[in-house]
A and B are shown apart, each in its own frame.
Chain A
């Protein structure tokens, strides 16, 4: 791996260099708006100022991959985002919803994030970046990271083309993870040297913590529990719209069969005596969780977006993880690995069918 260690203050030059040298035509990257963080699509390098104050900010609003979903354009887009967002982008490439040749994926280390409104409200306590000790301290004050982050075991920048890793103090390692990434950094004007980003021990620690937190989440393990869990859902489908890997051009639940009305509803009511209207929650969520079961990157955007505060992390990422274990598949980990439903082995899975 080739990379270089920089002071936080030098990161601005890296992003500007990418634009200035036409390595990318634009960047999608976080920007600060008062105490809040959101994304900007930037083409003019002069609009980039003190990125170090915001790219590590532990705030989650939208999943950046959802912004570029379906952008099959030729211009090159650089995306600066957290690991779960870059992993979603990689899944979108596999799903042919994003053009591999026209993205440069730049992943930033993440220590776990607060919902963006929680972050903004507590900016004075949280600050521009945090580490695990600080997160524990904040939790003591009742300021907690999202459940999706508490169970996340992929927080280190090790996917995509370029990693921006915390190196302690006000320092970061910027390194190419792919040839494309290395070339991009050189073209942006950085002089690279051989660099090892060996963080196996840290990764292990994070995984152990994540596992413990996952086990601590309440389980939904019966029909009654599932109905109770979804009781207040109004089937607004926000959880679908913000999901980076839910990508159908026309969702089944926006079609007449999935969203029946009028005479179709009367027929259903005739068959069953009575049916719930506008619509029952179960079919929608069961179907959607199956659809995203191999590609869900456990980003928690669905939970954040639910207007009814349904803790969807206990449903989508938790169930998807079980399916991903069956296929030994980690979404977004390896751009070359085929999607589980597009491949098979002749002798497999019989134990799951019993």
Chain B
């Protein structure tokens, strides 16, 4: 990507739920909110589908940043999927923090009506990850 043209463009993998954040991203698009295109979204039906191994794998394969985002707690399309997801994400991030690997991982709650929040979040995460620089695992033989 733009690396040669100066400036590092982080690659970010986002795990988003179908009903909220993915729809929020759609809304940002249809309402023509501008945001950096660095995040590749992977649509899941619910954040409860998120398995921390996905994040480990993305990071080990060189993603510069990873985020998980779904409906606000209490607003899950499947009533309580994101309550369970939150426990798993908390466990994963607790482990990553201990190992000093958590700064490239983020989690958010963004609803279908929060197109602006989605766009701003993408701006922020892209800046934060750009600040950190490329994931050192990117060039390693792992």
Q: Which of A271, A273, A344 contacts B84 (CB 8 A)?
A: A344
Whether A274 contacts B141 by the Cβ 8 Å rule is yes
B-facing mask of A317-335, CB < 8 A → 1, else 0?
0110011001100000000
Alpha-carbon separation in the docked complex, A274 to B107 (Å): 31
What is the CB-to-nearest-CB distance from B92 to chain A, in angstroms, rounded to a whole number?
6
- With A287-B53, A290-B92 known as contacts, the answer to whether A221 contacts B99 (CB < 8 A) is yes
Distance in angstroms from A220 CB to nearest chain B CB is 6
State whether B99 touches A283 (Cβ < 8 A).
no
What chain B residues lie within 8 Å of A71 (beta carbons)?
A: none
For the complex, give the distance between the alpha carbons of A252 and B87 in Å: 21
A290-B95 CB under 8 A given contacts A349-B86, A353-B86, A353-B89: yes
Chain B residues lying within 8 Å of A283, measured Cβ to Cβ, are 53, 56-57, 60
- The verdict on A275 contacting chain B, using a C-beta distance below 8 Å, is yes
Q: Interface size for chain B: under 10, 10 to 19, 20 to 34, or 35 or more residues?
A: 20 to 34
Is A289 close to B, CB under 8 A? yes
Interface pair A286/B86, CB less than 8 Å apart: no
Q: Give the chain A neighbours of B88 by CB distance below 8 A.
A: 341
B91 touches A323 (CB 8 A): yes
Which A residues lie within 8 Å of B52 (CB)?
287, 290
Task: Verify if B6 is at the interface (C-beta below 8 Å from A).
Answer: no
A302 to B56, CA, bound (A): 22
A326 lies within 8 A of B90 (CB): yes
Which one of B53, B56, B87, B88 has the greatest number of beta carbons of chain A within 10 Å?
Answer: B87
Q: Please determine whether B98 and A352 come into contact, CB atoms closer than 8 angstroms.
A: no
Number of interface residues of A (CB under 8 A): 39
Tell me if A311 counts as interface (CB < 8 A to partner B).
no
- CB neighbours (8 Å) of B107 from chain A are 353
Tell me the residues in window 296-354 of chain A with beta carbons closer than 8 Å to chain B beta carbons.
Answer: 318-319, 322-323, 326-327, 340-341, 344-349, 352-353
Interface 0/1 of B97-109, CB less than 8 Å to A: 0111100000100
Q: Is A226 an interface residue (CB 8 A)?
A: yes
Q: Are A223 and B100 in contact (CB under 8 A)?
A: yes
Closest chain A residue to B84 by CB distance? A344
The interface centre, meaning the residue of A287, A345, A353 with most chain B CB atoms within 10 A of its CB, is: A353
On whether the beta carbons of A272 and B91 are closer than 8 Å, the reply is no
Whether A286 lies near B56 (C-beta < 8 A) is yes
Determine whether the beta carbon of B87 is less than 8 Å from that of A349: yes
Cα A276 to Cα B86 in complex, Å, equals 33
* A223-B137, A293-B94, A353-B86 given; 16 more Cβ-contact pairs under 8 Å: A223-B100, A225-B100, A226-B101, A271-B61, A275-B142, A280-B142, A283-B56, A287-B52, A290-B52, A290-B91, A290-B95, A341-B87, A341-B88, A347-B73, A352-B94, A353-B93
| B interface residues with partner A (beta carbon < 8 Å) | 52-53, 56-57, 60-62, 73-74, 80, 83-84, 86-95, 98-101, 107, 136-137, 141-142
Query: Which of A's residues lie within 8 Å of B, judged by CB?
Result: 219-223, 225-226, 252, 271-276, 280, 282-283, 286-287, 289-290, 293-294, 318-319, 322-323, 326-327, 340-341, 344-349, 352-353
What are 19 contact pairs spanning A and B, CB under 8 A? Answer: A220-B99, A226-B101, A274-B141, A275-B141, A287-B52, A289-B95, A290-B91, A290-B95, A293-B95, A318-B98, A319-B99, A323-B91, A327-B87, A341-B91, A344-B80, A347-B73, A352-B93, A352-B94, A353-B89
